[in-house]
């Protein structure tokens, strides 16, 4: 609670919270005030600056009480009411934060649920479904480009699995020299047919 901090620390926290809300009053483009986010950011800043986790927890614990003090200002209160600020949640948080372990639960990094992860993935992939190709591209040019620059078959043998078996030409039999690979029978027969035609 705020009483765990000294007077100067409470005043510093008051100025920070007051300033955050006044900034939003002066600039409507800023997001509405989020007490949970403010607690986590304050904890991170104090912990990083002082390297004292207990001190950072005490600052975080004091935020709901100090925030309540800030809301006593008329301009601040009007702004929060106009932006549907949840005063009931703030009151419940003030009560709950009497226990420091509750502060720790709120500060702890929460793992995203499966549904949150799924929604992020869907959001990231949403743009891919809305893709519209450039309508100024001439389909004949596009086809020609793909035809000229696409992958070309370098040999009829590339469509089948090729495997080299080393054999000594001096010891291999004539029968083994002229075996037609059954996986390449069509090409083997074509070559045989060509050789026969050349002989006649």
pLDDT of residue 164: 60
- HSE, side-chain direction, 13 A CA sphere, residue 12: 9
pLDDT of residue 185: 59
Show me where the domains of the chain are located.
Answer: 2-110, 159-199
pLDDT of residue 5: 84
Residue 28 CA to residue 121 CA, distance in Å, equals 31
Distances (CA, A) of 192 to 29, 179, 186, 189: 80, 12, 10, 5
Residue 13: closest CA among 52, 53, 58, 72: 58
Query: Above pLDDT 70, what percent of the chain?
Result: 66
Counting every residue, how long is the chain? 200
Q: Would the pTM of this model clear 0.95, i.e. be above it? A: no
pLDDT of residue 78: 93
* Structural tokens at position 88: 């009931």
pLDDT of residue 72: 92
Which residue ranges in the chain fall short of pLDDT 70? 1-3, 109-111, 127-165, 180-196, 198-200
């Amino acid at each position: 609670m705020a009483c765990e901090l000294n007077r100067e620390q409470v005043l510093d926290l008051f100025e920070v919270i007051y300033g955050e809300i006044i900034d939003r009053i002066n600039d409507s483009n800023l997001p509405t005030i989020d007490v949970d986010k403010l607690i986590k950011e304050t904890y991170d800043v104090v912990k990083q600056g002082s390297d004292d986790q207990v001190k950072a927890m005490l600052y975080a614990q004091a935020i709901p009480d100090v925030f309540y003090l800030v809301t006593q200002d008329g301009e601040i209160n009007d702004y929060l009411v106009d932006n549907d600020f949840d005063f009931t949640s703030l009151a419940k948080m003030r009560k709950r934060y009497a226990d420091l372990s509750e502060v720790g639960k709120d500060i702890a990094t929460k793992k995203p649920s499966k549904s949150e992860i799924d929604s992020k993935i869907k959001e990231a992939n949403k743009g891919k479904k809305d893709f519209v190709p450039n309508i100024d591209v001439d389909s004949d040019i596009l086809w020609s480009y793909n035809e000229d620059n696409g992958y070309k078959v370098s040999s009829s043998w590339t469509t089948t699995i090729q495997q080299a078996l080393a054999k000594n030409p001096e010891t291999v039999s004539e029968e083994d020299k002229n075996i037609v690979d059954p996986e390449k029978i069509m090409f083997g027969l074509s070559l045989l047919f060509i050789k026969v035609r050349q002989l006649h």
